[in-house]
Amino acid sequence: MKQERKSLYELATARIVEQLEEGGVPPWRKTWSGYGMARNLQSDKPYRGVNAFFLNLIAPYRIPYYLTYRQVQEMGGKVKRGSKVEYVYYYRTYYKDENGKTIPQSKLEQYDLRELEQIRFLKSFKVFNIESCEGIEWTPPPPVNRDNDPIEEAEAILRTMKEPLKIVSVSTEEAYYAPQSDVINMPSIRQFESSAMYYRTLLHECVHWTGHETRLARLGVTERIERGSERYAEEELIAELGSHYLCAVIGIDDEAMREVSVGYLDAWIRRLKEDPGIIFRVAPRAQQAAEYILGSPLDECLR
């Protein structure tokens, strides 16, 4: 039997599900940006709706600028061999008269569209990220900069840690802890939606940092684990709970930050729904990590 082709709706949904199943923060709530909204490089028009979602937050590119294959050629470039295709989705609308015949676009002005049968089809066309192209002369835009200032209470904790952190900015698009090199990569504070968002993210990575074999030696950090696995999910829960505790100590109370954090926790808890006791199992380890960073019992800091 011939396999039925998946609809564009199914393909679009599958991309979201795939991203969530890989693990990590829900892609639609990334709280920092290096280069603003995804846009077409040639026209400079930003993508809207679901296309902004896919091309800014799902697609794995540092600079969210895209071109169609024809536009790449018009600009004197070419697409690199093996480059991944992205898709821009749009609706094409058709109208039918009382006899069920499709009305040509050129004659639509003769009708009252409210009285016609409207048919919408979801369609798509292919685009390529600028990083997948070569031979095009262009200047990357300057990174986004917001007027975010350091939070002294957070900086005080970082300064008094028993062991200094190694914070680098190899990538302005990613926040992560690398156990092999024992460093934390962070975008600039000015790329985040707020100062609170910056420290929430930094403290999350700091909790991962405590799991290094020379510190608390958590298996989710010391062992090479598969992204999206149960062990990976547990470590992410520990990191997010730990950052919750540390933000409470510092006194960071940002509504948008809480929304992001709750969504992050919910995503991992739903992945572990067959183990409802997970939150109680990871909470003590999250507290232990927070206390390692603070250098004192959490109960004393929260008084």
Q: What is the pLDDT of residues 118-162, one digit of tens each?
A: 777 788 899 999 999 999 988 877 766 788 999 999 999 999 998
pTM for this prediction: 0.59
Domain edge (last residue) among 134, 167, 186: 134
Cα–Cα distances in Å, from 281 out to 96, 244, 284, 285? Answer: 61, 16, 7, 8
The predicted-structure confidence for 173-195, as pLDDT tens digits, reads as follows 788 999 999 999 998 898 888 89
What's the rounded Cα separation, in Å, for the pair 73 and 228? 39
Helix, strand or coil for residue 54?
helix
Residue 141 is assigned to a structural domain of this protein: no
Residue 267 is assigned to a structural domain of this protein: yes
Same domain, 297 and 157: yes
Residue 146 is assigned to a structural domain of this protein: no
Residue 127 is assigned to a structural domain of this protein: yes
Sorting pLDDT into bands at 50, 70 and 90, what band is 275? low
Of 31, 40, 84, 28, give the one whose Cα is nearest residue 64: 40
Copy the structure tokens of residue 151. Answer: 């939070």
How many residues are recorded in the chain?
A: 303
Residue 177 is assigned to a structural domain of this protein: yes
Same domain, 112 and 196: no
Looking at the predicted structure, is the pLDDT value of residue 21 above 60? no
Same domain, 52 and 188: no
Same domain, 125 and 156: no
* Three-point CA angle 276, 278, 284, nearest 5°: 140
* Three-point CA angle 151, 175, 54, nearest 5°: 115
* Domain carrying residue 45: 35-134
Copy the structure tokens of residue 303. Answer: 């008084």
Residue 14 is assigned to a structural domain of this protein: no
CB neighbourhood size of 169 (10 A):
13
Copy the structure tokens of residue 175. Answer: 């926040």
* Residue 268 · residue 240 · CB < 8 Å: yes
Number of domains in the chain: 2
Same domain, 121 and 192: no
CB neighbourhood size of 66 (10 A):
27
Residue 111 is assigned to a structural domain of this protein: yes
